[in-house]
Amino acid sequence: MSKSCLSFAVLVTVFGCFFATPATVQGQSAITSQDAPILLKGRHGITIHAGFLNQATTEASVAGGSVDSEFRTTGFLGSLSYAYWVGSEWSIGLSVGLIGAEAGTSIEAGTVTSEAAAVVPFLFTVGYHPAALALSRSLRPYGSMAVGPYRGSATNTSVGATIASESVSEAVIGFRAQAGVDWFLGKMFRGGIVVGYHFVGDFEEPIGRDNNYSGPEFLIGFGILLGRGR
């Protein structure tokens, strides 16, 4: 299966404002700690994201006295990322993930063929977390862009009258755009949802069944925040 061109996806951006009018008691503003903004500058964040795009196919056929069967799973999405807030609204970081994992086994005329493939992006990220668009103290939309190498690897093994094995490993440059909403749980924890799109160059050799792994993603995430912030 191949793709002739890269598609463009519409990223979801959340807009909204939340305004609070503090009450005045004895000439002083009575803003509670729950109304105070989340302090992000100088903090570190470690987040795990996981997706739900899993697919499985099973095929079987009988022809000429032989039985052909195939089982294949594809489509897992996930990442581990680190971010450092260089300002109250801007962050930089690194991300390593998995945008394509494929495993398959087929039996044909007494020959068993096993295939395994994966595409792993290593990305440098820049994120923008606009305080002006915060839905509340705990909910804040953000957008991010990332660039880096996407490494694909695949192994094909055939067992029959003889045993043959072939391995492929290749890296191409790609770009990822994301938009999502962060949910800050207290001072140390962070959750949220994110949608994005990967724009990936073509691999010279097929990784699994594809030469191109461009496509959308939908993820949920959970992480921790380190540091006091300012």
pLDDT digits (tens, 9 = 90+) for 118-170: 899 999 999 999 989 998 888 999 999 999 999 999 888 878 777 777 788 99
Spatial separation of the C-alpha atoms in residues 162 and 92, rounded to whole Å: 51
pTM for the model stands at 0.73
CB–CB of 107/132 below 8 Å?
A: no
Cα distance between the two ends of the chain: 50
Q: Tell me the sheet residues that pair with 82.
A: 46, 94
Q: What are the domain boundaries of the chain? A: 40-226
Structure tokens at 94: 């690194």
Rounded to an integer, the average pLDDT of 33-44 is 76
CB–CB of 107/69 below 8 Å?
A: yes
Report the CATH fold assignment for 40-226: Porin (2.40.160)
Radius of gyration of the chain (CA): 23
Residue owning tokens 């581990």 = 80
Which tops the pLDDT comparison, 113 or 58?
A: 113
Residue from 176, 222, 125, 191 nearest 11 by CA: 176
pLDDT at residue 64 is higher than 70: no
